[in-house]
């Protein structure tokens, strides 16, 4: 089973983006993958509005990414700055990137 990092928007319209993320996770699971979405987990423990907490969450997410088999970028709602940075990080780590759409 592939370990897959899910990249989707979070900030902005958080309720819409979290609902979209749930659909992305279901899609990944249906593909037989084991998905992980740090941008949904760490804001529960860290304060997104605090710069140092946001950076800490990003660093923690990148630790998981370094162990992933694939980064799945769900792009129906666009690619945020955070997603773009994660794509660059995946490229630096040599992790395959797959762009996906649910529509």
Sequence-distant (≥ 6) Cβ neighbours of residue 58 within 8 angstroms: 82, 85
Distance from the first to the final alpha carbon of the chain: 25
pLDDT in tens, 19-38: 999 999 999 999 999 999 99
Contact 28, 72 (CB under 8 A): yes
What is the three-class DSSP state of 100?
strand
pLDDT in tens, 37-93: 999 899 889 988 899 998 999 899 999 999 999 999 999 999 999 999 999 999 999
Q: What is the pTM of this model?
A: 0.92
């Amino acid at each position: 089973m592939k370990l897959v990092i899910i990249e989707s928007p979070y900030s902005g319209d958080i309720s819409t983006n979290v609902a979209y993320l749930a659909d992305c996770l279901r899609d990944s699971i249906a593909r037989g993958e084991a998905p992980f979405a740090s941008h949904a987990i760490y804001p529960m423990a860290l304060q997104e509005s605090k710069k140092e907490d946001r950076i800490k969450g990003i660093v923690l997410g990148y630790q998981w990414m370094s162990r992933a088999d694939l980064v799945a970028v769900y792009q129906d709602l666009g690619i945020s700055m955070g997603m773009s940075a994660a794509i660059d990080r995946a490229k630096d780590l040599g992790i395959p990137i797959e762009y996906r759409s649910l529509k």
